[in-house]
Structure 1
Amino acid sequence: MKHKWMNSPYTFALGMFAMMVPSQAFSSFYSYFYVEKLGLGIGLATLARTIFLIWDAVNNPLFGYWSDRTNTRYGRRRPWVFGSIPLFMLAFVLVFSPPGGLSENGLFTWFLVTLIFYEAVATVLWVNYGALLPELFRGDRIRAKASAIQQGYQVVALLIGTALTPKLFAAINFSNMAIVYACLFGVFMFLCMMNVQEKKETTKTEPLKLIPAFRETIRNKKFWVFNISNSFAQTVNGLVSSMIPFYAKYVLHISEAQVSIMLAAVFVSVIPLVFVWYWIIRKMDGVKAWRLSLILYALSVIPLWFGYDLVSGVAAGIVVGFGLAGFLVTPAIVGGKIIDEDAEKTGLRREGIYTAVSGFITRSSGLISALAFFIVGMIFGYKGGDAPGSDPEATFRYLISVVPLCLLAISVVISFTIKFTFTGQLRGDADYDQKINHQL
């Protein structure tokens, strides 16, 4: 008899929790650590991110392609994840542990090398873990449930990775904070993978070669519109979370210790709201719910412009939480439909390469975020903690409210440029949901 926790949405979501704690701490504080604390110029920080993206453009489709072609007794995805666990732990610690006494060029070199190492290993993890959701859970309803549970776990991880991190690095420094989070990641990722059993694919179709596989993926118009739209929204996720420490200091004028309260305001509100969005998805078409989440997310960043102290900042953060909750839950439904439709067309389950290319598009949004930081900083004269310019308050009001609003408006417009229609079993009716998941 199959273990009751095997392929359970609850144990599967432990992987999201494991990866998001260090990932969120990284995205929220690596810029603050290197620019504000260590004095690395934002121009060099932007250059490092750009160089990484060139490498990332190559390794994402390769890792996805290799994952799809992997065939072991333990599955296609699990061996990659198990192999990446210790490497990710090491990479995360190195990012926050530069040697003392480095010159600015030396600091830039350390940042660039560790960033490339960290992101390469993170790519392997996200590609293979991300490919498991549409593979293990097939049908709209079960995917909506799995996604909502996953995002609930993710929000808990976001709270730890953002609200607890300032307290940790203030108490034990950045390097020791990274060691704590690396160990937490290792334990929960291992528990997740021990409770995953991949479905054995019975297709006899020969796997596509790299170029045909990549060509088939890039020809999928729905895939591109969906992911490009999401990339602008994903930029907002990273931009808002990474700007909150600056926003707290220069706009709200609160202490570094109170940053945790501001971060918690955004993410605590998300926990119950992801299940509100699960209810919305059950009541309406998944594509419409996805578009609605983008619209509401855009409106939710407006109140951040009006923050001026801790109370007003917390109130604005709660509003952002509702928009963020929708964007966390709804994309999994549309993305799963696109992958299912591709499987019907090609006769192959190709979650790996779709997740990989999607991941690259999403992570490339980091360049947009970095460029926004650089351009707005230059306009207002912000160069770093030692040279904040004449109006750092305006700098970070624009970066946390106006820029995200513009990016989300672009996301909404792109989402309407193509009609998403899915037929047959892709409708995700209850009978199909139940039948396909009994086969796993």
Structure 2
Amino acid sequence: MKSRPFLNSPAAYALGMFAMMVPSQAFSAFYSYYYVEKLGLGIGLATIARTIYLIWDAVNNPMAGYLSDRTNTRHGRRRPWIFAAIPFFMLSFILVFSAPGGMGDAGLFVWFLTALILFEGVATILWVNYGALFPELFRGDRLRAKASAVQQAYQIVAVLIGTALTPIVYDAIGFGPMAVVYSVVFAVFMLWFAFSVRENEEARKEPPLPLKEAFRETLKNKPFWIFHIANSFAQTVNGLLASMIPFYAKYALKIPESQVSILMAAVFVSIVPLVAVWYSLVRRLGGLRGWQLALAVYGLSAIPLWFGQSLGGGIAAGIVVGFGMAGFLVTPSVLSGRIIDLDAEKTGRRREGVYTAVGGFITRSSGLISALAFWIVGMIFGYVSGDDPGPRPETTFRVLISVVPLLLLAISFAISLFMKDLGEPTDTTKGLDNKRRAGSGEHGQKIDSELR
């Protein structure tokens, strides 16, 4: 068989992260700014829309994972869903940033809610199936740490495009055309990824657990719950920082909109080399200790943002918070993979889809925490919208970008202390993984090469 070293490699898998993160980051960073600041939608209505979405997400996320685990085609379990979702993701992303002009609050709310539900529904299918591939393709802490570091390096480049470049793009061509451009970028790289991975055929031969048993086993897994609840608070900070930077730049730093890209670049460019630092730390400390350290450092790194007074001060604080964010981006994948491995040892089935979906719902519920924080802090200090910023908008966004992240990450770190060391893979698991790798052709050769 002709060698294809790129097939199932960490770089091939990371292409999917890059593809999804370009539009997803632009969405998370600028949808609030677009609807609240630019179009004048009240933050109360925006919060209601996010709450309705969360109810919808509670249904579609776990079911997407269960259906993915039960899919069995010659192309795999995950890839058919990914291929089918690509055009719908493109369309829904364009709808988010193409709100017609002249609508009142009610019409704008309906448009926002509809676009949000469509976008997040299709995004669920993509993220669940993409995430389910990680623990199947990469086995063992060492390889997972390496694959996670590569994946996060690609992610940071995508985040940089989705945040720092986006203001330049929408300022030049508008929000709607920007969405079209990013959708095309997504399609090109997502297809490249999907054609560059192959699923484990042995995993598809294992009969799936019945629905009730599958969710019962998932819901009674204590490490799973501790891990994802802690991560949900930390993930809130990721979204909050990205979405608050445009407001922070305008009201706290008082810099023009044209300099927002510079501020965002300071945060996200700094993360790229720092990913390697955290990869080294995880290899030394292990998945659990590395994750806990990352949460603590991330919380402390948000403090300097309170003191920024100008573009220069904002850049310095952004570099500091970039170090904390880099740790949180690298460390969770290693630990979540180990949780799924232990479940496979117990049940005899690999259920990456259900675990990724339920975990994804818990983590993505952070969007509601972020929306509630925005609403509550806004009410306290009088911010309503761009049309009515209230008497203390500067304080509003200093609190949201510094104090709230510190508190959320303190909660996340406290929860993480309840997690026990999950240990190393057992001999049985290693033997099973070696057997699967040996039976997976090029993929097995690739992993064996990486481990050596």
Sort the TM-score into its range (normalised by shorter chain): over 0.9
Deviation at 1:173, TM superposition (A): 0.3
Instruction: Give the TM-score taking structure 2 as reference length.
Output: 0.95
Alignment CA distance shift 1:76-1:205 (3 Å): closer
Query: Is contact 1:222–1:420 with CA below 8 Å preserved after alignment?
Result: no
% identical aligned pairs: 66
Q: What is the CA–CA distance in structure 1 between the aligned matches of 2:210 and 2:58, rounded to whole Å? A: 18
Query: Is contact 1:140–1:433 with CA below 8 Å preserved after alignment?
Result: no
Query: Is contact 1:142–1:433 with CA below 8 Å preserved after alignment?
Result: no
Matches within 5 A, 1:14-413: 14-201=15-202, 206-413=207-414
Instruction: State the Cα deviation string for residues 276-328 of structure 1 (Å, max 9, x = none).
Output: 11111111221100000000001100000000000000000000011000000
Alignment CA distance shift 1:174-1:396 (3 Å): same
Deviation at 1:201, TM superposition (A): 2.1
Instruction: State the Cα deviation string for residues 333-380 of structure 1 (Å, max 9, x = none).
Output: 000000000011111110000000111011100000000000000000
Q: What is the CA–CA distance in structure 2 between the aligned matches of 1:434 and 1:343, rounded to whole Å? A: 15
The residue type equivalent to 1:217 in the other structure is T
Alignment CA distance shift 1:3-1:391 (3 Å): same
Alignment CA distance shift 1:428-1:20 (3 Å): farther
Instruction: Give the TM-score taking structure 1 as reference length.
Output: 0.97
Alignment CA distance shift 1:385-1:204 (3 Å): closer
Instruction: State the Cα deviation string for residues 373-401 of structure 1 (Å, max 9, x = none).
Output: 00000000000111111110000000000
Query: Is contact 1:24–1:158 with CA below 8 Å preserved after alignment?
Result: yes
Secondary structure in 2 matching 1:269: helix
The residue type equivalent to 1:320 in the other structure is V
Deviation at 1:438, TM superposition (A): 5.0
Q: What is the CA–CA distance in structure 1 between the aligned matches of 2:427 and 2:297, rounded to whole Å? A: 26
Secondary structure in 1 matching 2:229: helix
Q: What is the CA–CA distance in structure 1 between the aligned matches of 2:198 and 2:398, rounded to whole Å? A: 47
Give the total of aligned pairs.
439
Q: What is the CA–CA distance in structure 1 between the aligned matches of 2:438 and 2:285, rounded to whole Å? A: 25
Deviation at 1:202, TM superposition (A): 5.5
Alignment CA distance shift 1:424-1:151 (3 Å): closer
Q: What is the CA–CA distance in structure 1 between the aligned matches of 2:427 and 2:149, rounded to whole Å? A: 20
Query: Is contact 2:72–2:204 with CA below 8 Å preserved after alignment?
Result: no
Query: Is contact 2:294–2:324 with CA below 8 Å preserved after alignment?
Result: yes
Q: What is the CA–CA distance in structure 2 between the aligned matches of 1:397 and 1:426, rounded to whole Å? A: 51
Query: Is contact 2:202–2:436 with CA below 8 Å preserved after alignment?
Result: no
Deviation at 1:433, TM superposition (A): 8.0
Query: Is contact 1:168–1:177 with CA below 8 Å preserved after alignment?
Result: yes
Secondary structure in 1 matching 2:202: coil
Q: What is the CA–CA distance in structure 1 between the aligned matches of 2:206 and 2:5, rounded to whole Å? A: 32
Superposed CA RMSD in Å reads 1.6
Query: Structure 1 stretch 131-140 or stretch 196-205: which is displaced more?
Result: 196-205
Query: Is contact 2:230–2:415 with CA below 8 Å preserved after alignment?
Result: yes
Q: What is the CA–CA distance in structure 1 between the aligned matches of 2:17 and 2:345, rounded to whole Å? A: 28
Deviation at 1:2, TM superposition (A): 3.9
Deviation at 1:424, TM superposition (A): 4.0
Structure 1 unaligned runs (5+)?
none
Q: Which residue of 1 aligns with 2:9?
A: 8
The residue type equivalent to 2:383 in the other structure is Y
